[in-house]
Chains A and B, each alone.
Chain A
């Protein structure tokens, strides 16, 4: 469960190519250009396309955006003919040849058709609106002036778990995308009944067939790694996500009569839903996905598919390099100015940035300081920090979080990592961080937070209840002398276990935020967001 360093994910080496024609049940060829299937030719025409489909509306082999499967297992075929293993490749001749669809309309004509359709729909909408407005003007005196306009933003689904309408919408959406819906586990504390609570013993993959026809296997593996806690920490998760998206783009091939910029975004959606079901997306992942979607939809039409894919992979690499790796270097350098000789620095949990800063300061610049590592159950991430620092020769002390008021009088500064920085300057980080900040304030110890700018969120949160993550409550069960304390918690009606993952630290408890743009006070986070938006 240790959090791997960013850039060294503990996952297996990149997927080996499986020989095609393997028995179903193996990770049969996502990249098998030879074998084709006759299914695609015999498929009945699908609504909403010009001969092409989005591949999501039925369970048979999808229109070959991921290259054809050699053989589709029988239980997935439905009422169709079995696939011919040696039939000539159908509409998509491997991933490389999708520029000129075999006997379809040219791109410009398609676009003109689409535009004509849109105009027709728009005209229809206008006509309807005109009717409605006539009815409305007749009924206007009845409208109260305080009716809310549609400016109110919709709440995200993941904080509306106790609202059955929202959950029904989610279920329908997942069904449409062919992503299984993960069931909640155990009774929740009332205050957090609006959040999901999953069990680690029931991963999402138990509910789906593998190999999945809709979800790329790399994404399935990533989802499992997230939900089982193998990849932990916001930087590690984001890097793993971007690497997997690069793989997705490599294996993607535009179906005929589709544009890459539109279709790829649509293809990414079920994968993102799947990852979200495995483990709620972190703020860093959310920002990376937003960036990627924007890049894809801004691709010029004139690019060929290969060039477009190259370009996308380059932009992802650039994002990774600049926003994550170089930013870490810059933060390490800035934070180094604040570390003096004879300092006693308190750190909490395991943050890749803080670890890197301390190791650099000690190894490369030779500052003499000592570190107090504070840890907390049930994750015990501080042990990983301890391991890394001690290996570099830094003098460390290890305490649990209930001992901080004992050690704080000798601490000169507190260095914390962050999961996200919110628009009002609040810091969202591992649960326990706000407690450390609070007690440090009481002891007048300066609190420094290290955070890259790509984790800055437009959200505003003033408490830790509204949006959070509930981890598996069974993690809190302790095994001591053979007895599992709290083991029978589910049977006890008046007992609830709460395993929170994040908490929110108010900005007045934080003295300084170190970002790749420099050292700023907590109240300047909206300025950075504004500057970033202007840049874009």
Chain B
């Protein structure tokens, strides 16, 4: 069998916001793998390399779930190339599901946006953008507040994209969330990772918004694809692994991590009302149920 290794390349968007995984099966003459174990270990190495370049939660969880999905079938065939064919087929199915997931989520979520609603969102999320697009398509009128989301000003990018959809949008300071909360009807954010407890890992500032929303009894909705479900269980902010908090280059070059500013924070499940995923609309306690189904 010709020595071929399949590599997933992740199309990276600038400035480290959430990733889009796109299938690009690149036949590269790599290590000679002639066993299933060898293939698996080379895939793991690929995921590891990618995580080292971009330390986002979505990369690690997506990679692991992909690996589990393709290897979860019965690979009892003695012919190695047949096994590889099956794995490639499963990989295609997985990637197809992923690309459709955003539309599924948009279909589930846009009914929750009523006519005349004021929505608050945080930083730049393509899933939220898709949901709001679907709401516009169903002829709803609403306005959006976006936090500026320092230090990379991702909120400005979100505002630009929303203006293109002709949605009235206001960019507010991160510090103004407590001020604006009484005016909004619901909060809608994306997620970089969904953890076992049902909480989410997202751009820094999300936890604050969730706490303010809880204090004023506003619903806090999260939209995330199912490949972002990860087997972490942080007990508090300190418990989130450092490799997710900081950028990959920072991890490599910095001397003292406590002087670096983290890019993400953890929002606990008690602050989240509902999660919209391609597996359906879930409460935070149902996330663990889904994770058990996915991973066991």
Residues of A at the B interface (CB closer than 8 Å) are 338, 413, 444, 446, 448, 508, 511-512, 517-521, 523-524, 527-528, 531
Q: Chain A's nearest CB lies how many Å from the CB of B139?
A: 38
- Rounded to whole angstroms, the CA-CA distance of A511 and B270 in the bound complex is 11
Q: Is the CB of A521 within 8 A of B235?
A: no
Q: Which residues does chain A contribute within 8 Å of B296, judged by CB atoms?
A: 517, 531
Please tell me if the beta carbons of B269 and A521 are within 8 angstroms of each other in the complex: yes
| B292 x A519 contact (CB < 8 A) | no
Q: Mark B268-296, 1 if CB is under 8 A from A, else 0.
A: 01100000000000000100110010001
Cα distance A517–B285 in the bound complex, in angstroms:
17
Cα distance A519–B198 in the bound complex, in angstroms: 13
Q: List 8 A-B contacts (CB under 8 A).
A: A511-B197, A512-B235, A520-B196, A520-B288, A521-B288, A527-B288, A527-B289, A527-B292
Per the bound structure, the CA–CA distance linking A524 and B197 in Å amounts to 9
**Bound form: Cα–Cα A512–B236 in Å:** 11
A sample of 18 more A-B contacts (CB under 8 A), given A520-B288, A528-B292, is: A444-B236, A446-B235, A508-B270, A512-B197, A518-B231, A520-B196, A521-B197, A521-B198, A521-B233, A521-B269, A521-B285, A523-B285, A524-B285, A524-B288, A527-B288, A527-B289, A531-B292, A531-B296
Residues of B within 8 A of A523 (CB): 285, 288
Interchain CA distance A512-B197 in the complex, whole Å = 8
CA distance A448 to B289 in the complex (A): 19
CB distance from B205 to the nearest CB of A (A): 20
Main SS of the interface on chain A?
A: mixed
Within 8 Å by CB of A512, from B233, B270, B292, lies B233
Output the nearest chain B residue to A526 by Cβ-Cβ distance: B289
Complex CA–CA separation, A213 to B215 (angstroms): 68
From the candidates A413, A448, A508, A524, name the one contacting B292 in the complex (CB within 8 A).
A524
Q: How far is the CA of A520 from the CA of B288 in the complex (A)?
A: 7
Most buried by B among A338, A413, A519: A519
Chain A hits for B285, CB < 8 A: 521, 523-524
Residue numbers in B under 8 Å from A511 (CB-CB): 197, 235
CB distance from A514 to the nearest CB of B (A): 9
Return the CB mask of B120-162 against A: 1 if under 8 Å, else 0. Answer: 0000000000000000000000000000000000000000000
User: Which residues of chain B in 214-243 are interfacial with respect to chain A, using CB atoms and an 8 Å cutoff?
Assistant: 231, 233, 235-236, 239
- For B292, what are the chain A residues with a Cβ–Cβ distance below 8 Å? 517, 520, 524, 527-528, 531
Q: Which residue of A lies closest to B287 (CB)?
A: A521
Known: A512-B197, A519-B196, A531-B296. A524 touches B289 (CB 8 A): yes
Contact of B235 among A338, A518, A520, A531 (CB under 8 A): A338
- The smallest beta-carbon distance between A198 and chain B, in angstroms, is 40
Contact partners of B289 in chain A: CB under 8 A: 524, 527
- Which residue of the partner chain A has the closest CB to B288? A524
With a CB–CB cut-off of 8 A, which chain B residues contact A446?
A: 235-236
- List of B residues within 8 angstroms of A520 by Cβ: 196, 288, 292
Q: Which residues of chain B are near A517, meaning CB under 8 Å? A: 292, 296
**Residues in chain B near residue A531, CB distance under 8 A:** 292, 296
A511 to B285, alpha carbons, bound, how many Å? 12
Report if A521-B236 is in contact (Cβ < 8 Å); known contacts: A527-B288, A531-B296.
no
